[in-house]
Structure 1
């Protein structure tokens, strides 16, 4: 693959509006800054009509869901659709409760998403597959994740990125797997949420090629994670800080050289 979008992010410094959870907000903001994007964290319903006029992408993350956020998400998503900026959905823990499932169902029915990014359990739930979820963790199940990604992508007319030991990206026609990463990722809370935010930055500069942007975002992030994990075993604090450092230092050449992709 070629690295097309990383340098565009750093040149354009796109503003990424995040409606996200209290666990992820700080880490996501710092990760976007490290990459070269500009974060805006707002879930106030009163701002949701104006915010898409300022932003180049919207990331909706349902991690710590409350009623007022649901209304803000719907309003922001619809306004972003009207303005033509890409919208990313991170359906955190969608299988955990009926409230989360109903919220995601409503978001998917009323907002056109460019990308859905979640773990295997979250996407299996959206696809209607049997899965044993454990809170916001991936849980366990026996399904073909490529098939799940393809079906959900076709159903909602978007790109799907399923994060895990092997990441799966599909737009329903093209499908790729990314084999970079580190076991330290799930040891750091909000590491998946940060990936969703970073996908928003890549989609913000992609001129409509959301599959290519999501693929490069995934490779860039997992390569940065690999580099941050070098020499570490259980030092998750050092890994978290190192990940931000590696995102800031990442180059297009490193993405191309170290990315392990099957397309």
Structure 2
């Protein structure tokens, strides 16, 4: 299934409208291009809906949030819902401040997400389960399966809880992904780029659970391949190799890692 989803993305080359944070724009754009999608970054309220209407998917990332951006996110999300394309919400740091919590509530009051993706601390906050967080990072993992199921049911969406083991649930069925490498946590924007990849995969044919699982599994395989490169000595060299890996075929990654 992962092979089919990735191939479909590369055949379709979906245009993904990013309403994302300023820290990760370049990394997200390059990563999605390598994977086979086409990124566009537009935050202005004046063209947020128009850009969504031109796109195949919309990513809403709350990383460097401002009041005008919240309105842009709502406009783009509503246009995407009307068009019938997926909206992925990444509630970065939602547990950190009341402003972020209120902004998330405002967005989901008007926009129906196809998926909500975040770490355990972020997603647990959405359903009132307190976990320790530090800024945008989760310190405690809690029960990721319980968190994923409850978020999926509460918001009638697909929930993706990222961590050492990624958990994906639609509220009735839950799957787990164990691919990945610890160096991902040392690269700013690695989680945000995953949101781009997930959005691109959700724009193809198939069930959302299968599409999201394919995205997360491929992302983890690419990280494992990059971390295994002879010249990788830390997060900087890893990041460059990781972008290269995102352009590879699923079979290439699986064969190499199986042989090694």
Is the pair's TM-score, using the shorter chain for normalization, greater than 0.5? yes
Cα 1:161–1:232 change in 2 (3 A) is farther
Match of residue 34 from structure 1: 34
Q: For the Cα contact (< 8 Å) 1:81–1:111, is it kept in 2? A: yes
* Shift, 1:5, TM fit: 1.1
Q: What SS is found at the alignment partner of 2:116? A: strand
Mean Cα deviation higher: 132-141 or 222-231: 132-141
TM-score by length of 1: 0.93
Q: Say whether 1:51 aligns with 2:42.
A: no
Q: For the Cα contact (< 8 Å) 1:13–1:37, is it kept in 2? A: yes
Cα distance in structure 2, aligned partners of 1:139 and 1:146? 17
Cα distance in structure 1, aligned partners of 2:239 and 2:195? 16
Question: How many aligned positions are there?
Answer: 257
1:45-84 alignment, distance < 5 Å: 45-84=45-84
Match of residue 190 from structure 2: 191
RMSD: 1.7
* Shift, 1:49, TM fit: 2.1
Q: For the Cα contact (< 8 Å) 2:225–2:253, is it kept in 1? A: no
Match of residue 175 from structure 2: 176
Q: What SS is found at the alignment partner of 2:63? A: coil
1:80-99 alignment, distance < 5 Å: 80-99=80-99
Cα distance in structure 2, aligned partners of 1:220 and 1:43? 29
Cα distance in structure 2, aligned partners of 1:21 and 1:200? 16
Cα distance in structure 1, aligned partners of 2:208 and 2:56? 14
Cα distance in structure 2, aligned partners of 1:119 and 1:259? 26
* Shift, 1:234, TM fit: 4.9
* Shift, 1:124, TM fit: 0.9
* Shift, 1:206, TM fit: 2.8
1:1-263 alignment, distance < 5 Å: 1-140=1-140, 143-207=142-206, 209-230=207-228, 231=230, 234-249=233-248, 251-254=249-252
Q: For the Cα contact (< 8 Å) 1:2–1:256, is it kept in 2? A: no
Q: What SS is found at the alignment partner of 2:160? A: strand
Cα distance in structure 2, aligned partners of 1:133 and 1:91? 13
TM-score by length of 2: 0.94
Q: Which runs of 5+ in 2 are unaligned?
A: none
Q: What SS is found at the alignment partner of 1:31? A: helix
* Shift, 1:156, TM fit: 1.0
